[in-house]
């Protein structure tokens, strides 16, 4: 076996891969070794596209280079020399030859495209002799334009000469000549500039500019490898979880020239419109230009065709008009590439003397909107399967489609930046209190609610506002969670805002913004903008619905929503929710008409007082549930009994305290004293959740009664109801045992008054206290279902306060201690174990236990993937995340199927290998003995 290996070197030992003249050593599948750019240059060559010949030095050499202390490994030299000869043969020119010089580009290219890597060096091989050869072959102006470009690029990226030294010199030359554009300079100008540039390099580096083309080439190759280790590249890799070992490849390629005259051009294009996804060819080009001129903004590029023309470009001629032959060829290549890659491509091309050359192709970046349209269109065009289409849309971004967004073309003055907590754009007059928000909204004025932070008392104001901006708090702060729930634009944790409620203003830097001034916030970027920016309402196209239909047919997880009002329930249902996974009853308590009764209930001194307050609340709660059951007709609705610490409901201002005192017939001082008694050192671990039900059983009784009566009422009107009562914050089985008995008693009581009723109400619990997960087998004896409350569970098991994490969590993310905010994506290694344990132990007692998750993680694609993996039955998330969860659940199911297939394959292969090995060892033994 080993003999065969040496006779025919394995593919892995080759360092240099040639392409050109229709043949290539590599192909598109070899991104690991050739990088994205190199692999696709090889692939384009293979499928017969016009690609200038060249070769790719494998990523493996990058590691060798570094291991050798930044030295080119000896074995590379002859391989490069051989590959270079091939390029010379195909291009009929010689590297370093004074009469027929071959020029090269040296381009970096990792597996994924990465900022921080070395910029491309063009026109390599030029020196004082070859430039004259080039001038004789073409013309002098072009030759010296190319030479000055080369000196600048090489000086900048290989020799570390500050780029602006060259740029200042160029500007000075243009000023001397009284011209604006590079193209207006003539041959003598460039000749003069080249002399100056050479002098600048010598001055900066203390050495003459390298004239030897071989030295130039190896200098550039080394610089590409070294750029893998620049701080910027390292930071980018850390943030994007790209392993340092990958390394970069180097592409060395024959130059083609877009700067040889007016029958030359260089350009970039997308095979479809990357903003809308519509199936039109879309791109820009510049005549008589090279390399990055198109994107550098020195001259205005022209549209390649009329489809790419924006409104203000009507006067610009297109490539289609100016170079019809080259355009036609490019348009054909567009189709070739799409049907070959079955994916939208982003391409770079150059036209030299009317001849088209392809320089790059890769998967094109696009907006979510375009992603949806392209995926669905490509299924219709039979380019991809439905499964592939569903997998191609980034689920996490899908909710951007559902909110009004800021017009991307509108000018804007950004004054601050916070965290993009809930997407969309909002614009309105600044208000600093929920009351003002409500009053103004009633007068049909658009407002943005600006708070240091929000609390449950602000909910009515948040409802009324177009958007919410806070100075404090993170992605799971109250404002963020509630705003996402409402589908409202929200920016949180904008630390530079100095808000003064007293003066009714906020400052940021030198800008003063007063109540009533108009601002705009962008919940997708976190930007705070002075004045009004137009918003655009996205249209939900037919493609969106089509894609979601396919996703639904592929997923296993059920998707529910967290909704507290009939309105939210309806929104979620329209987005495809299959039930409510979490209906928080406390939000209902904050409504203006009720809060007084709630406060009476909390501050009552005896059962009788409390009873009176509860009697007032009962019909109101019943009404709430009737509305929700009707909105969710036929679908399950999980209602959580009262959960937050009671002090959250209590008044802190004089008026409020007086009002409750009056209602209770008590004196103000006594009521204030009782309010103080309620305050806790650590409310999140204090008197809340089911502990309230243990201490004040009447409150839970009232809620169960309201739920059951509402269910009976709705059922009797002929609408199917499926209520599920959920007990929060259970830590010990005894808590649940007791509260379940209480609930069953109350249900039986109500049903006795409705003899014909066939209503079934299930009773379950949240699993959010770590102890509950660990003792899930015992708890499951009294639970019909579990719902993981992963916000609280993360907080408790991680010892991480949700409300204070904003002060240090960003450092954890920045330094890479944590890859994800554990309140955004489930921490698989830690919290994930508690969930696994909870599911396993719960189902060991009750095999058909229904298990779901509510809380912010339910709408996070990575967490949904995890939920599918551990076998949950459903996820529940805020209404606007429902489509996100549906798509993510489908992607999770596709992934699971692929894993299963992949797992099955090696088993068979292993078995074959094992069988072979068994026979061959036997064979060896026999010959030896
Ligand atoms: P990036 O990774 O930044 O896109 P590239 O390696 O693609 O860098 O090079 C940037 C530009 O340089 C290309 O778009 C192309 O215009 C120009 N370029 C690269 N190689 C060549 C070549 N062989 N001939 C002519 N132009 C080239
Ligand atoms: Mg490129
Ligand atoms: Mg909780």
CB of 35 closer than 6 angstroms to any ligand 1 atom: no
pLDDT of the residue at 908: 58
pLDDT for 587: 79
Give dist(CA 586, CA 649) in Å, integer: 9
Q: What is the distance between the alpha carbons of residues 770 and 793, in angstroms, rounded to a whole number?
A: 6
Asked if 189 and 178 count as a contact pair (C-beta separation under 8 A), the reply is no
For ligand 1, whether the C-beta of 329 sits within 6 Å is no
What ligand 1 atom has the least distance to the C-alpha of 54? 23
CA of 768 to the centre of ligand 2 (A): 49
Q: What is the mean pLDDT of residues 29-53?
A: 97
Cα-to-centroid distance, 776 and ligand 3 (Å): 17
* CB of 348 sitting under 6 A from ligand 1: yes
* Torsion angle in degrees (nearest 10) through CA of 742, 775, 686, 658: -30
Taking the centre of ligand 1 as the mean of its atom positions, its distance from the CA of residue 259, in whole angstroms, is 13
Cβ of 127 closer than 6 Å to ligand 1, yes or no, is: no
Ramachandran class of 913: left when φ > 0, alpha when ψ lies in -120 to 50, beta otherwise: alpha
56 lines ligand 1 (CB under 6 A): no
Q: What is the pLDDT of residues 285-327, one digit of tens each?
A: 999 999 878 766 567 789 999 998 876 678 889 999 999 999 9
Question: Does residue 302's CB lie within 6 angstroms of at least one atom of ligand 1?
Answer: no
Residue 7 has pLDDT above 50, yes or no: no
- Nearest ligand 1 atom, CA 348: 14
Q: Is residue 664 scored above 80 in pLDDT?
A: yes
Question: Cα torsion at 138, 143, 145, 150 (round to 10°)?
Answer: 130
- CB of residue 360 inside a 6 A radius of ligand 1: yes
pLDDT tops 50 at residue 584: yes
Residue 136 CA, ligand 1 centroid: distance in Å: 25
Q: How far apart are CA 251 and CA 831, in angstroms?
A: 45
Q: What is the pTM of this model?
A: 0.82
pLDDT, residue 300, reads: 75
- Per cent of the chain over pLDDT 70 is 95
pLDDT recorded at residue 8? 37
From 291, 301, 349, 357, mutation site for ligand 1 pocket: most ligand atoms within 8 A of C-beta: 291
Verify whether ligand 1 is closer than 6 Å to residue 805 (CB atom). no
Mutate to test the pocket of ligand 1, among 359, 362, 363 (most ligand atoms within 8 A of CB): 359
pLDDT tens track for 754-810: 988 889 999 999 999 999 999 999 999 999 999 999 999 999 999 999 888 888 888
State yes or no: pLDDT of 464 exceeds 50: yes
Among protein residues, the one whose CA lies closest to atom 16 of ligand 1: 291
Per-residue buried b or exposed e for 855-868, using 16+ beta carbons within 10 Å of the residue's own CB:
bbbbbbbbbbbbbb
Lowest mean pLDDT among 82-86, 655-659, 698-702: 655-659
CB burial readout 538-567, b (16+ within 10 A) else e: beebebbebbbebbbebbebbbbbbbbbbe
What's the pLDDT at 79?
97
- Ligand 1: residue whose CA is nearest its atom 12: 291
- How far is Cα 244 from Cα 565, in angstroms, rounded to an integer? 50
The pLDDT tens digits for 124-146 are: 999 999 999 999 999 999 999 99
Pocket test for ligand 1, best of 36, 122, 290 (most atoms within 8 A of CB): 122
Say which residue, 813 or 78, is predicted with more confidence.
Answer: 78
Measured CA distances, 881 to 351, 664, 886 (Å): 47, 43, 9
Centre of ligand 2 from the C-alpha of residue 121, in Å:
12
Verify whether ligand 1 is closer than 6 Å to residue 105 (CB atom): yes
Structure tokens at 589: 């308590």
Q: Give kind and range of the element (H or E) at residue 326.
A: helix 324-341
Q: What confidence tens digit (pLDDT) does each residue in 64-93 have?
A: 999 999 999 999 999 999 999 999 999 999
Whether the pLDDT of residue 693 is over 90: the answer is yes
Pairing of strands 785-789, 762-767: parallel
367: phi then psi, degrees, rounded to nearest 5: -70, 165
Q: What is the number of other CB atoms lying within 10 angstroms of the CB of residue 381?
A: 12
**Residue 263 pLDDT more than 60?**
yes
Helical residues (DSSP H) of 120-183, grouped into ranges? 130-137, 140-157, 163-176
**Count of alpha carbons within 13 angstroms of residue 453, beta-carbon side:** 15
Say if residue 928's pLDDT is above 60: no
122 in ligand 1 pocket by Cβ < 6 Å?
yes
User: Please, which residues have CB within 8 angstroms of residue 755's CB and are 6 or more apart in sequence?
Assistant: none
- Band of pLDDT at residue 912, cut at 50, 70 and 90: low
The pLDDT of residue 81: 97
Mean pLDDT of the chain: 91
Per-residue pLDDT at 678:
87
Q: Which of 348, 351, 361 to mutate to test the pocket of ligand 1 (most atoms within 8 A of CB)?
A: 348
Pick 752 or 482 by higher pLDDT: 752
Q: What is the distance in A from the centroid of ligand 2 to the CA of 34? A: 15
Beta carbon of 59 within 6 Å of any ligand 1 atom: no
Q: In whole angstroms, give the CA distance from residue 614 to residue 385.
A: 58
123 lines ligand 1 (CB under 6 A): no
Closest CA to ligand 1's atom 11: 291
Q: Nearest C-alpha to atom 7 of ligand 1 is from which residue? A: 360
Residue 873 CB–ligand 1 contact under 6 Å: no
Give percent of the chain above pLDDT 90: 75
What is the position in ligand 1's atom list of the atom closest to the CA of 107? 6
**Residue with structure tokens 């002060």?**
807
Please tell me the predicted confidence (pLDDT) of residue 60.
Answer: 95
Confidence label for 921 from pLDDT (cuts 50, 70 and 90): very low
Contact 891, 867 (CB under 8 A): no
Residue nearest to atom 22 of ligand 1 (CA): 255
Q: Where is average pLDDT lowest: 509-518, 600-609, 842-851, 906-915?
A: 906-915
pLDDT exceeds cutoff 90 at 232: no
As a whole number, mean pLDDT of residues 639-667 equals: 91
Residue 915 has pLDDT above 70, yes or no: no
The catalytic residue positions are 478, 854
> What is the pLDDT averaged over residues 478-498?
84
Query: Which pLDDT value is given to residue 905?
Result: 75
The helix (H) or strand (E) run that includes residue 23 is strand 23-24
Ligand closest to Cα of 767 equals: 3
Name which residue sits closest to atom 6 of ligand 1, judged by CA: 107
Looking at 177-273, list the stretches that DSSP marks H as alpha helix, in order from N- to C-terminal side.
Answer: 187-205, 213-227, 231-239
Pocket-testing residue among 107, 223, 266, 267, ligand 1, by greatest number of atoms within 8 A of Cβ: 107
Instruction: Give 264 Cα–ligand 1 centroid separation in angstroms.
Output: 15
The pLDDT tens digits of the residues spanning 597-629 come to 999 999 998 889 999 999 999 999 999 999 999
Average pLDDT over residues 866-873: 98
Q: Which atom of ligand 1 is nearest to the CA of 52?
A: 23
Total Cβ atoms within 10 A of residue 570: 18
Q: What tens digit of pLDDT does each residue of 425-446 get?
A: 999 999 999 999 999 998 889 9
Cα–ligand 1 centroid distance for 291 (angstroms): 5
Cα–Cα distance, 376 to 543 (Å, whole number): 6
Whether 270 and 283 have beta carbons less than 8 Å apart is answered as yes
The mean pLDDT of 340-357, rounded to a whole number, is 96
Q: Strand 636-640 to strand 580-584: parallel, antiparallel, or no bridges (unpaired)? A: parallel
**How many angstroms is it from 46 CA to the middle of ligand 3?**
58
Whether the Cβ atoms of residue 330 and residue 266 lie closer than 8 Å to each other: no
C-alpha of residue 20 to centroid of ligand 2, in Å: 18
**For 797-812, how does the pLDDT look when each residue is reduced to its tens digit (9 = 90+)?**
999 998 888 888 888 9
- Give DSSP secondary structure letters for 80-92: HHHHHHHHHHHHT
């Amino acid at each position: 076996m080993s003999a065969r290996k040496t006779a025919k070197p394995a593919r892995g030992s080759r360092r240099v891969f040639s392409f050109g003249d229709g043949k290539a050593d590599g192909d598109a599948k070899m991104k690991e070794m050739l990088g994205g750019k190199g692999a696709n240059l090889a692939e384009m060559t293979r499928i017969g596209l016009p690609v200038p010949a060249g070769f790719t030095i494998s990523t493996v050499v990058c590691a060798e280079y570094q291991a050798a202390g930044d030295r080119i490994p000896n074995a590379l030299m002859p391989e490069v020399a051989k590959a270079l000869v091939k390029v010379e043969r195909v291009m009929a020119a010689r590297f370093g030859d004074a009469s027929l010089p071959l020029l090269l580009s040296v381009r970096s290219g990792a597996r994924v495209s990465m900022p921080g890597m070395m910029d491309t060096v063009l026109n390599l091989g030029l020196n004082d002799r070859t430039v004259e050869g080039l001038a004789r072959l073409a013309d002098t102006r072009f030759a010296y334009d190319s030479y000055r470009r080369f000196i600048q690029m090489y000086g900048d990226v290989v020799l570390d000469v500050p780029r602006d030294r060259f740029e200042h010199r160029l500007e000075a030359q243009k000023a001397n000549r009284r011209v604006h554009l590079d193209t207006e300079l003539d041959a003598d100008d460039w000749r003069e500039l080249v002399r100056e540039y050479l002098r600048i390099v010598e001055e900066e580096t203390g050495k003459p500019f390298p004239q030897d083309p071989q030295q130039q080439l190896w200098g550039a190759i080394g610089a590409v490898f070294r750029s893998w280790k620049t701080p910027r590249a390292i930071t980018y890799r850390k943030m994007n979880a790209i392993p340092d070992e990958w390394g970069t490849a180097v592409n060395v390629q024959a130059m083609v020239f877009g700067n040889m005259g007016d029958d030359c051009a260089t350009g970039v294009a997308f095979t479809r419109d990357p903003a809308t996804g519509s199936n039109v060819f879309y791109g820009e080009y510049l005549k008589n230009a090279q390399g990055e001129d198109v994107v550098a903004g020195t001259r205005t590029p022209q549209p390649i065709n009329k489809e790419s023309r924006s409104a203000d470009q009507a006067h610009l001629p297109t490539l289609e008009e100016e170079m019809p032959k080259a355009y036609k060829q490019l348009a054909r290549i567009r189709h070739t590439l799409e049907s070959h890659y079955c994916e939208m491509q982003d391409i770079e091309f150059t036209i030299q003397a009317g001849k088209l050359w392809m320089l790059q192709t890769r998967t094109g970046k696009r907006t979510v909107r375009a992603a949806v349209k392209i995926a669905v269109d490509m299924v219709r065009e039979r380019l991809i399967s439905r499964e592939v289409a569903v997998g191609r849309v980034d689920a996490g971004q899908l909710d951007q489609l559902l909110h009004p967004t800021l017009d991307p073309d509108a000018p804007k003055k950004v004054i601050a930046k916070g965290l993009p907590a809930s997407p969309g754009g909002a614009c309105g007059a600044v208000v600093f209190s929920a009351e003002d928000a409500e009053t103004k909204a009633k007068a049909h004025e658009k407002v943005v609610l600006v708070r240091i932070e929000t609390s449950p008392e602000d909910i009515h104001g948040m409802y009324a506002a177009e958007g919410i901006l806070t100075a404090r708090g993170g992605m799971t702060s109250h404002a963020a969670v509630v705003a996402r729930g409402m589908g409202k634009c929200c920016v949180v944790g904008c630390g530079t805002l100095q808000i003064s409620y007293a003066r009714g203003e906020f400052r940021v830097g030198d800008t003063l913004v007063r109540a009533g001034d108009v601002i705009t916030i962008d919940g997708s970027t976190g930007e705070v903008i002075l004045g009004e920016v137009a918003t655009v309402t996205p249209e939900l196209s037919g493609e969106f619905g089509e894609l979601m239909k396919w996703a639904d047919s592929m997923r296993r997880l059920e998707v529910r929503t967290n909704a507290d009002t009939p309105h939210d329930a309806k929104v979620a249902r329209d987005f495809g929710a299959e039930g409510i996974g979490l209906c928080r009853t406390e939000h209902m308590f904050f409504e203006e008409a009720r809060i007084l009764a709630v406060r009476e209930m909390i501050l009552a001194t005896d059962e009788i007082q409390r009873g009176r307050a509860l009697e007032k609340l009962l019909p109101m709660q019943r009404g709430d549930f009737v509305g929700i059951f009707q909105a969710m007709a036929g679908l399950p609705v999980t209602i959580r009994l009262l959960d937050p610490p009671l002090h959250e409901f209590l008044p802190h201002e004089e008026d409020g305290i007086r009002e409750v005192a009056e209602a209770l017939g008590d004196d103000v001082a006594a009521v204030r004293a009782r309010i103080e008694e309620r305050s806790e050192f650590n409310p999140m671990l204090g008197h809340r959740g089911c502990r309230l039900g243990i201490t004040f059983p009447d409150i839970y009784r009232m809620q169960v009664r309201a739920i059951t009566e509402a269910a009976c009422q709705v059922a009797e009107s002929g609408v199917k109801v499926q209520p599920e009562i959920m007990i929060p914050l259970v830590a010990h089985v005894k808590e649940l045992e007791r509260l379940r008995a209480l609930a069953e008693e109350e249900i039986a009581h109500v049903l006795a008054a409705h003899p014909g009723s066939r209503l079934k109400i299930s009773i379950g619990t949240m699993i959010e206290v770590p102890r509950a997960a660990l003792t899930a087998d015992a708890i499951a004896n009294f639970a019909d279902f579990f719902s993981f409350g992963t916000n609280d569970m993360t907080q408790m098991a991680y010892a991480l306060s949700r409300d204070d994490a904003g002060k240090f969590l960003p450092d954890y993310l920045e330094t890479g201690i944590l890859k994800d905010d554990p309140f955004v994506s489930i921490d698989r290694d830690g919290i994930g174990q508690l969930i696994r344990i909870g599911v396993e132990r719960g189902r060991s007692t009750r095999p058909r236990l229904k298990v779901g998750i509510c809380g912010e993680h339910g709408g996070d694609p990575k967490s949904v993937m995890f939920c599918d993996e551990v076998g949950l039955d459903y996820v529940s998330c805020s209404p606007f995340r429902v489509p996100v969860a549906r798509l993510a659940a489908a992607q999770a199911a596709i992934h699971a199927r692929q894993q299963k297939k992949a797992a099955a394959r090696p088993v068979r292969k292993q078995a074959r290998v094992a069988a072979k090995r068994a026979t061959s060892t036997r064979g060896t033994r026999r010959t030896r003995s």
